[in-house]
Structure 1
Amino acid sequence: MQLSAAPYEERLTAPRTWWLLAFLVGVSMALILLPFGTLPMLGGLAGGTAVAAVVASSYGSVRIRVVGGHLIAGDAKIPVSALGEAEVLDAEEARAWRTHKADPRSFMLLRAYIPGALRVDVTDPADPTPYVFLSTREPERLAQALRAAKESADAA
Structure 2
Amino acid sequence: MSDTRATTQTVRYRERLSVPWWWWLPGLGLAALIAYEVNMGIEGLPDWLPYALLLPVAAVVLMWFGRAEIRVVSGSHGDTELWVGPAHLPVSVVGRSAEVPRTAKSAALGRQLDPAAYVVHRAWVGPMILLVLDDPEDPTPYWLVSTRHPDRVLSALGR
Settle same-fold status: TM greater than 0.5: yes
Alpha carbon RMSD of aligned pairs, Å? 1.9
* Structure 2 counterparts to residues 51-130 of structure 1, below 5 A: 51-68=57-74, 69-130=80-141
Residues 24-67 of structure 1: per-residue CA shift (max 9 Å, x gap): 23211222222335853422122111101101101102100010
Residues 96-142 of structure 1: per-residue CA shift (max 9 Å, x gap): 11112211100000100111110110111100101000100001111
Q: What residue number does 2:49 align with? A: 43
Give the structure with the higher percent helix: 1
- Asked whether the equivalents of residues 30 and 43 of structure 1 are also in contact (C-alpha less than 8 Å), the reply is no
Q: What letter matches 2:134 in structure 1?
A: T
Moved more, 93-102 or 28-37: 28-37
TM-score by length of 1: 0.85
Distance verdict in 2 for CA 1:121–1:44, change over 3 Å = same
Larger Rg, first or second structure (1 or 2): 2
Aligned counterparts of 1:73 and 1:108: Cα–Cα separation in 2: 10
The reply to whether residue 20 of structure 1 matches residue 25 of structure 2 is yes
Aligned length: 147
Aligned counterparts of 1:57 and 1:70: Cα–Cα separation in 2: 26
- Asked whether the equivalents of residues 25 and 48 of structure 1 are also in contact (C-alpha less than 8 Å), the reply is no
Aligned counterparts of 1:87 and 1:13: Cα–Cα separation in 2: 23
Q: Secondary structure at the match of 2:158?
A: helix
Unaligned runs of 5+ in 2: 1-6, 75-79
Instruction: Determine what percentage of the aligned residue pairs are the same residue.
Output: 32
